[in-house]
Chain A
Amino acid sequence: MDVVNQLQRQFIDYSASLHREGFLDDQFTQLQKLQDDNSPDFVVEVASLFFEDCEKLINNMARALEQQQGVDFKQVDASVHQLKGSSSSIGAMRVKDVCIAFRSFCEAQNREGCLRCLQQVTHEYSLLKNKLQTLFRLQQQILAAGGSIPVVE
């Protein structure tokens, strides 16, 4: 029991810190609410899908921006839009904010700015991925120890 409590407390703290630092926002909480007995791994599934999507999009954007002769800003913009949509669906606030800035650089057709944003996005994304993986591991541990995931409001 103690272990469970401890783990749960750890989980709550970690969740709170993620929210506080702006990695996640309210949307993520909503997603957690959707998890129930019918779909117990809902959040994990969504997160995995998000990671796959992100990597694909980032690769696309990198390739597009590497073109020496004439960058296709429209394509980049499309990818950024997708990324923005995905990140806001999952509640990845920081990623979403970078995407917003990214979009304005795309509209201005500023290659330097875009490259900078791409770096930022990649950075944020990897950060988030790590954090979420930690969170999920904690969850697994709690479940393995026989406890239940506490609901963080």
Chain B
Amino acid sequence: MDSCNCIEPQWPPDDLLMKYQYISDFFIALAYFSIPLELIYFVKKSAVFPYRWVLVQFGAFIVLCGATHLINLWTFTMHTRTVAMVMTTAKVFTAVVSCATALMLVHIIPDLLSVKTRELFLKNKAAELDREMGLIRTQEETGRHVRMLTHEIRSTLDRHTILKTTLVELGRTLALEECALWMPTRTGLELQLSYTLRQQNPVGYTVPIHLPVINQVFSSSHAVKISPNCPVARIRPAGKYMPGEVVAVRVPLLHLSNFQINDWPELSTKRYALMVLMLPSDSARQWHVHELELVEVVADQVAVALSHAAILEESMRARDLLMEQNVALDLARREAETAIRARNDFLAVMNHEMRTPMHAIIALSSLLQETELTPEQRLMVETILKSSNLLSTLINDVLDLSRLEDGSLQLDLGTFNLFAVFREVLNLIKPIASVKKLHVSLNLAPDLPEYAIGDEKHLMQTILNVVGNAVKFSKEGSISITAIVAKSELLRDSRTPEFFPVPSDNHFYLRVQVKESGVGISPQDIPKLFTKFAQTQSMATRNSGGSGLGLAICKRFVNLMEGHIWIESDGLGKGCTAIFMVKLGIPERLNEPKLPLMPKVPTNHGPTAFPGLKVLVMDENGVSRMVTKGLLVHLGCDVTMVSSSEECLHVVSHEHKVVFMDVCVPGMDGYEVAIRINEKFTKRHERPIIVALTGNTDKVTKENCMRVGMDGVILKPVSLDKMRSVLTDLLEHRVLFEAI
């Protein structure tokens, strides 16, 4: 058949079937050859294919199959034996390889299948992770919101700002439609709408606090979903839309008193506010868990911030109050000071102004008394004198007392002769007593010291006052004054349990008792005696004429002297006893008993005024040394002379009673010597009296001498009389800081 377009007419194109077989074989071969090519191409393209060996096998199998089919093409016509051989070989190989491949596939196909399952598994996992990622992201975002909210809330200490900020930020973060805060009223029975997000001025909505829904919210620490129809949620005007979901959470309002150290506050005692949050209506949004958590956290933070703000308010208020009080106190103090100053000025002026005319009156009246007067005139003058004396006493008393009360009066301590005080009082009182035919006796205890340290003037005033009272109020009989040293047993008087005197080495308690056998005082009048200006009935009838101040002043003085004064009486008509105790100091035991009491003017002018007094003279200047020695020898002293400070320190001993040293020579330090002598003799009564001789009269020298412990300073040159009086003063008083 020449009409066909196929390959060369070597073949016998007889049968149609044969023709179709021929073509199919050809195409099969083609396909078989192209498959491995494709495989190789794609495998080369992909970097990863784990089954290369399989591929090779498969490739071989395919190639051989293709070869077989290709060779099959030649077998349609008459073919040689070679072709048959090749065909057979090919077929054999193909058989082998295909069997091997088949066997191999048994292993491989399950693997390939499992890859598929793994892929599915991974896909699921990825989806799950995606979901979780989404959750984490939301949580993280929530956290960020919380932090930001907290930061906003805590960045201010103003209550209103805190609450407003909370609502605004919450509204923004959660995209709320409305957010409201209900605060409990003062009574605690209602909740009042205090803050809202959208509405500007929430006016006076209140709901009672004991609604079940509110209780439900308050009893749980979580945010609770509530119905949009309950009273707390019905803030917005009702509309046609579907209201969104509403959540309410409690906000604890903490007070300072709620916090105890050991146990946290009980829930039942807390007050809560209610925060209501509404999602936008018609949005089909739901409250998610993380949003609820956010709301709870925010509510807690708000509570803390509010408590801080409350504390701050408290402290500011307290501080303002304190400042006010301070200012008021300051003002009061200044007023008081002004008053005191005015009073003092007044007193000072009155003191002078009142006394001057008084003196004039008294003086002139006394003078008048001396002149020639008719008896009536004399009587009149005497009355004038008596009245003015009384007035003068009154003035003195009042001024004294006010000074005492002021606290500005101080005791004038000095050494004085106790016996002399008593004697003087006796002398003063004797004339009046003898006129009244009263017998006055004085008993001084044998162990009473002759000298004491105290305020002589006021002590005499006190004794005089007490004795004077006794004389005044006795019509007849006797008055006895007893003075003893109070011993410890007597010190604790049962009548004065609050008075506990403690005697010591350099103090003793003087107890003076004045007993009079006169009219006596009734026991209930005794306390009044010591109060100012109070006069008892019995005293007034006795024509006393006293102002009633006397005993009050005595009491003040006695108290100043750390003592006590009281009056005992067995009743009217049985006389009374006034007793007081004061604390006096014991003067030091010096050489005083050996020396006679020197009056102010030295009466001995004889040459040996200080027999055998051992004196040390230190002076660098030969001439003045000799002169000083001459002076002292003339006065009878036993003089040792030294010319340098080392010699002085070497020679000085406790036998020398006085050391005269020249301190105005430059270069030699007399002060240093004084200090060394002070160091050498530690006991005061062993130390010699140190006196500086100087030609300088200035203050600096005097101060320096005092500073180093010298007892006196004398200006050179010294006259005989001066030296005598200096020595006298020194030995009597042990101190002399003039004689310039």
Contact = CB atoms under 8 A, between A and B. Distances in A.
B739 interface: no
Contacts of B626: 45-46, 49, 89
Interface centre among B620, B626, B666 (most CB of A within 10 A): B626
B717 A42 contact: no
A84 B620 CA distance: 13
A77 B633 CA distance: 32
B665 A42 contact: no
B666 A88 contact: no
Interface stretch (A32-40, A120-128, A134-142): A32-40
A81 to B, nearest CB: 6
A49 B633 contact: no
A27 interface: yes
A90 B623 contact: yes
A5 interface: no
B720 interface: yes
A46 B631 CA distance: 12
A49 B620 CA distance: 13
Contacts of A90: 623, 627
A33 B623 CA distance: 16
A11 B666 CA distance: 39
Given A34-B634, A39-B633, A89 B627 contact: yes
A39 B630 contact: yes
Given A46-B627, A82-B621, A33 B720 contact: yes
A17 B717 CA distance: 22
Interface string A41-77: 0100110011011000000000000000000000001
Contact of A85 (B624, B631, B719, B720): B624
Interface in B614-647: 620-624, 626-628, 630-631, 633-634
Contact of A34 (B630, B664, B665, B666): B630
Given A85-B624, A85-B665, A86-B623, A46 B717 contact: no
Nearest to A50: B623
Contacts of B624: 85-86, 88-89
Interface centre among A33, A52, A87 (most CB of B within 10 A): A33
A69 to B, nearest CB: 24
B375 interface: no
A145 interface: no
A91 B719 CA distance: 11
A31 interface: yes
A84 B628 CA distance: 16
A49 B622 contact: yes
B625 to A, nearest CB: 8
A85 B623 contact: yes
A31 B630 contact: yes
Interface centre among A39, A52, A86, A89 (most CB of B within 10 A): A89
Nearest to B625: A89
Given A53-B622, A89-B623, A90-B623, A34 B695 contact: no
B50 interface: no
A36 B627 contact: no
Contacts of A88: 624, 695, 716-717
Contacts of B630: 31, 34, 39, 42, 46
Nearest to B718: A30
A78 interface: yes
A36 B607 contact: yes
Given A34-B630, A49-B626, A82 B716 contact: no
Nearest to B719: A30
Given A34-B634, A36-B607, A85 B627 contact: no
Nearest to A46: B626
Contacts of B720: 30, 33-34
B623 A78 contact: no
Task: Name A's interface SS.
Answer: helix
A81 B694 CA distance: 12
Interface string A108-119: 000000000000
Contacts of A52: 622
A57 to B, nearest CB: 10
Interface centre among B620, B622, B630 (most CB of A within 10 A): B630
Contact of B667 (A42, A78, A85): A78
A84 B623 CA distance: 11
B633 to A, nearest CB: 7
B135 to A, nearest CB: 102
Nearest to A27: B717
A37 to B, nearest CB: 10
B613 to A, nearest CB: 16
Contacts of B631: 30, 34
Contacts of B620: 82
A101 to B, nearest CB: 16
A26 B630 CA distance: 16
Nearest to A82: B621
B623 A36 contact: no
B265 to A, nearest CB: 87
B666 A89 contact: no
A89 B625 CA distance: 9
Interface in B711-730: 716-717, 719-720
B634 A36 contact: yes
A60 to B, nearest CB: 14
A144 B78 CA distance: 207
A82 B668 CA distance: 12
Contacts of B666: 77-78, 81
Nearest to B723: A30
Given A34-B630, A38-B633, A81-B666, A91 B623 contact: no
A29 B662 CA distance: 22
A30 B718 CA distance: 9
A26 B716 CA distance: 12
B665 A53 contact: no
B633 A89 contact: no
Contacts of B623: 46, 49-50, 53, 85-87, 89-90
Interface in B653-669: 662, 664-667
B634 A89 contact: no
Nearest to A42: B630
Nearest to A51: B623
Nearest to B624: A89
A53 B630 CA distance: 18
Contact of A91 (B621, B622, B695, B717): B717
B667 A89 contact: no
A49 B665 CA distance: 19
B692 to A, nearest CB: 14
B627 to A, nearest CB: 4
Contacts of A36: 607, 634
Interface centre among B622, B627, B665, B719 (most CB of A within 10 A): B627
A67 to B, nearest CB: 20
A64 B719 CA distance: 35
A53 B626 CA distance: 12
Interface in B521-538: none
Contacts of A49: 622-623, 626
B701 to A, nearest CB: 14
Interface centre among B623, B633, B720 (most CB of A within 10 A): B623
Contacts of A31: 627, 630
Contacts of B633: 34, 38-39
Nearest to B628: A89
A49 B716 CA distance: 18
A16 to B, nearest CB: 20
Given A31-B627, A81-B666, A89 B607 contact: no
Nearest to A43: B630
A27 B695 CA distance: 14
A81 B695 CA distance: 10
6 contacts: A31-B630, A42-B630, A49-B626, A52-B622, A82-B665, A89-B628
Top 4 nearest A-B pairs (CB, nearest first) are A89-B624, A86-B623, A34-B630, A85-B621
Given A31-B627, A34-B633, A89-B628, 4 more contacts: A27-B717, A33-B720, A34-B720, A78-B666
